[in-house]
Chains A and B, each alone.
Chain A
């Protein structure tokens, strides 16, 4: 009896502090945000309960729709751009397919070490009407009015941002793949070669199966990171021009803290969380099916 009580105490003494911290910084804000999403509140004064009004507004809010579309584009460029490219680069470096692998490793890894705000400023100085790229093109073409019109296109203004995201974040996945590739014993590859396996067979039969769980983890990182995308876009375009490069997190931030519409901002936050959970669940289902297949 005493032993059981003592065990429970020990258990609680280990678990409770972590649980309290988790509840304080994760559960409470989440529940509070969920509660606020059913209200109209300016951040001060009386809180007015409005039921599902904020969620209904989301359905017909064109700015939110642009944000959602752009977030989905980030997920696509992350999962189908950054991860495969990261893997390709890691594979090439690991299999020593290029000379000076270490140099390339450092070069590719560098962007992820730079603050997103600095990356945004850097690329702004490339793309801006007075930036390097339009200036060079003006010199070459003689067209003094040349600017990067793509930034003023409702459909394509987000493409340059996707390019910068690809440039900045691919290295993270490359490093994760590279670290896992380095864990594969060289003897297995050598044995496969002695058995007559070519590069394609080694990749399909040895490397790909070993790295499948890593790809899954990378996908989760990519998806959750994609829906949270904020710093680079906020610094690079602030969602403009005319909301063309809006993403949900930037819209949520502006709605909540700039427009002081805490209720609607909270509803956007809850939808972001739901999208993250849904996307990760879908990834898990698809990975399980692929593994079973």
Chain B
């Protein structure tokens, strides 16, 4: 595998610059943006859509969308990495919703192990900075609720699926997550 495909995002502004150039129809910038960010976005897609060929389809859709919608990117509202990551997540979740039956179900107790948390995982500096605050705020939640929030984020599960996987009534899961979101928001705004 080529080293260029795994190029780390060393300059935080680089994806932003490339994305703005992509919006102007710069194909070389678009390809550079792809080389710089696709491994990270592919990781995001694969976490939600575990089937590899499907995750590749989603990634293709993501970048096709990036090319077409790059003009909608507003650096004042979101960083390029946030914009790209959320587009990848949304496409992956939509794919998952449309193909729900193919989804394998893993009990929540085991799901946490699937998430890599090594030092290398902190590579995206911009996200890591924000992570400290989120970590603190997630830490203020009770452990089972924190795990529920994390599982929801990483797996892209619906309330129904979370209820099924955790063996908890649907109403309880909904109210746990909603209350957790209220607490999280209050903490993040502090």
Q: Do A and B bind?
A: no
Which residues on B are within 8 Å of A, measured CB to CB?
Answer: none
Which residues on A are within 8 Å of B, measured CB to CB?
Answer: none
